[in-house]
Chains A and B, each alone.
Chain A
Amino acid sequence: MAKLTYIKAITDGLDVCLGEDPKTLIFGEDVGKNGGVFRTTQGLQDKYGEDRVFDTPLAESGILGLAIGLAATGWRPLPEIQFMGFTFEAVDSLGGQMSRERFRFSGKRSMPITVRTPFGGGTHTAEMHADNLENYYVGTPGLRVVTPANPYDAKGMIISAVENNDPVLFLENLKLYRSMKDEIPEGKYTVPLDTAKVAREGTDITIVAYSAEVNESLKVADKLAKENISAEVIDLRSLSPIDTDTIFKSVEKTHKVVVVQEAQKMAGVGAQVTAEIAEHAIMDLDAPIGRVAAPDSVYPWAQVENDWIPNADDIEAKAREILNY
């Protein structure tokens, strides 16, 4: 066991994957000698060589197209897209190609590709470097979209993603990279890709969140606990598919729910969670479903972003509104 940051936990998980399966390949912009612009792949080229961990020309569609062709010839690619905003250049590879190959080949050929990319705001980056674009991808059949909210899950989930035989979009939260540490077991362990986690048990209200907003929600739960209000926090972990069973069980117990996301409100993850509850568990509710999301605007400039991103105060206010309904 060692205390590792979120980013080191991912590096550790990638190390495990490269060590276990000689068919795994890491590639992308700056992932080789430089170890990635965030150092997520630091040391891996030295350890596994330039055949397994390598830099590519600077073109995102090329990177994910390369992944598809490599998978077609028996490799297990782990491409990195340097920032999630850059996936716009590779939307066809994700939505038009790799997510459809199993379907096209009647289930007989698969695309065991894990696309890693950093996302989320609050780190004062340049434009297009801090977006929550998951809403674009969760509606893509054949593509799993997952995101860990802590270092322990980050390592276990990256290993599960790489072992999975379908394409996985693995979202790494920029703000969490170096702001959290967990005790991380050495060697291999896995965390399932398709189940939500009850991050904190409670009985009075359910807060459903993912990624960095899980931590904000936990802060709110701590604060409410001082007033003897017991909030349950659910960390979705998987954004597609969504583990609705865990949500429904919680709502059945608390009868109140707030759905939180850092992304803009229109459609997407929170809307889907809200719709699932409305469709299947509405009779369990004592109050309307509360929603906390970013405004439906473009992601703001760096100097404004922390006022724009939903935070613990926003979640607390919404939770109190629903509790007092």
Chain B
Amino acid sequence: MAKKTGQAIDFASIKATMSDPYKKTFQIVDKDAKIVNQELFDTFSDDQLVDFMKKMVWERALHEQTMNFSRQGRLGFYAPTYGEEASEMGSVSAFKDQDFLFPAYRDLPELIQHGASVTQGFLWSKGNAVGDDYGDQRNWFPQIIIGAQYVEAAGAALGIKKNGEKDAVSFVYTGDGGTSQGDFYEGVNFASSFQAPAVFMVQNNGWAISVPRKKQTAAETLAQKAVASGVPSIQVDGMDVLATYIATKEARDFAAAGNGPVLVETLTYRYGAHSSAGDDPSRYRTKEEEKPWFDADPLIRMRKVLGDKGLWSQDQEDKLTEEYKDSFKKSMKEAENTPTQSVVDMLKTTFEEPTPQIKADIARFEAKESK
């Protein structure tokens, strides 16, 4: 008689323990503004701490002002970044000029910190060609096709390696939903196969429009998805700007030193709608679900940390916010005064040498546009 099988391999135990290395989220300041890693906290100068706070205040002011502009009909598609200030400003602060950035559409603040102008950000949203004109900056356009930027970033990382660049990496962002794409895995795996200097950022803000993070995968963290391709990774508290900065900086240093790619998952939250185009989160989540995340707000905890050190006041923050908003209003004026591209000029960007068909179209629109 055949023996009963099913006990040779303990899949239940493998499943129960496979996420163990990811049980602890990397953190320096917790949600109650308690410093949980004093040693790392002490590596920051007062100026650095204030600078992180200023950047987050800048991003929040940008969020508030862009939502105003959206309500006034002065912007096109725009993805709110409310709640993700620590994740975005903490990570981008680890960049060097020579690093390549492949952003997704929610990463305009990082693009701007990496050299693009606020005006350009607005122009991109409004659908003006100048919005994507980054000159010599190592910025790529905000990707719309979720995940496509991951394979491209692997290519840029390989290009950087082949160029013999000693201190440069390819940074790329996606969200929690993006990790479900085939291109996500292909990008991470290609960079791993070539041991190319890429830093893969996953901003896990809990939501892919209306689909919650738990429906994307049964994996306990998104960070551990990198393990399958031999890439080290970390899950970091994305509401803790200092932890996000340290994790990203050390990931960058590791990759730039020739050790291959790294993946960083930031745990954050999309406070607002998916986009300015009519998404209403009350259709798919409750205020009770949102509350713990608002309580974990990155600005609240830095206000307290800086306040305790006598480095920050609400009055100072309010003034700064007004200054930033005034500058955004100027940028919007500048964007509104930027001429739109003519169809003729747009047609000329289809090929380097226009084809006979494009030439005929150019002639047709020249006649139309000269009227």
Contacts and interface: CB of A to CB of B under 8 A. Distances in A.
B129 to A, nearest CB: 5
B136 to A, nearest CB: 10
A107 B356 CA distance: 18
Contact of B156 (A64, A72, A97, A107): A72
A166 B351 CA distance: 6
A70 interface: yes
B334 interface: no
A281 interface: no
Interface stretch (A54-62, A124-132, A298-306): A54-62
Contact of A65 (B130, B135, B159, B187): B187
Interface string B99-135: 0101000000000000000000000000001101111
A136 interface: no
Nearest to A60: B186
A106 B341 contact: yes
Given A65-B150, A69-B151, A93-B151, A103 B350 contact: yes
Contacts of A68: 151-152, 155
Nearest to B182: A61
A91 to B, nearest CB: 11
B151 to A, nearest CB: 2
B190 A66 contact: yes
Interface residues of B, number: 45
A74 B349 contact: no
A243 interface: yes
A77 to B, nearest CB: 8
A67 interface: yes
Contacts of B193: 56-57
A57 B130 contact: no
Interface residues of A, number: 43
A106 B155 contact: no
Interface in B337-351: 341, 345-346, 348-351
Interface string A44-82: 000000010000110101101111111111110000000
B187 to A, nearest CB: 7
Contacts of B135: 108
A214 to B, nearest CB: 21
Interface of A: 25, 51, 56-57, 59, 61-62, 64-75, 92-93, 96-97, 102-108, 110, 141-142, 144, 164-166, 194, 241-245
- The 9 A-B residue pairs with the shortest CB-CB distance, nearest first, are A69-B155, A65-B151, A73-B159, A62-B186, A241-B355, A69-B156, A66-B155, A107-B349, A69-B152
Given A70-B159, A106-B132, 18 more contacts: A57-B190, A59-B189, A62-B154, A62-B186, A65-B151, A65-B154, A65-B155, A65-B186, A66-B158, A67-B155, A69-B154, A69-B157, A96-B145, A104-B141, A105-B141, A106-B130, A110-B352, A142-B351
